[in-house]
Amino acid sequence: MLLEPCFVSNRSDAEKLHQDGFIDKLADAIVAGIKDFIKANANRKFAVIGLSVGHKYKTSNPNDKGATCVFGDWEADHAEDLARRVAKLLQS
C-alpha cells in the first residue's frame, strides 16, 4: 500500500500539514485503516508493516528531500514525521 496524503507543492494541502493537530489526525486515520485491514484479514499473519518516507534515506540519492513545500520545508520531512507518528501509535 502506498499513501501520498498531501502534496506539499499545493498550498491548500501544505496549509493542512502546518495546522496544529493535522498530522496527528492523519496518523490516527492511517492507523485505523491498518488495524481495520488486519482485522478483516485475521486469517493472515502480519509480521511487518513498512513505513516509507519516500525520498529520504535513498541510498541512490541520499540528499534527495523530495519536493519543496510552499512554506520552505521539505516533503520528506513531513513524510518522516507522519511515519514516526504512525509507528508510535501502532506500537502502543
Residues with Cβ within 8 Å of residue 55, at least 6 apart in sequence: 61, 64, 65, 66, 75, 76, 79
Contact present, 52 and 84 (Cβ < 8 Å): no
pLDDT band at residue 28 using 50, 70 and 90 as cut-offs: very high
Residue 1 has pLDDT above 70, yes or no: no
Q: How many residues does the chain have?
A: 92
Structure pTM? 0.83
pLDDT band at residue 40 using 50, 70 and 90 as cut-offs: very high
Query: What distance in Å separates the CA atoms of residue 15 and residue 43, rounded to the nearest whole number?
Result: 41
Query: What distance in Å separates the CA atoms of residue 78 and residue 72, rounded to the nearest whole number?
Result: 12
Percent of the chain at pLDDT above 90? 45
Query: If you average pLDDT over each of 11-15, 20-24, 78-82, which comes out highest?
Result: 20-24
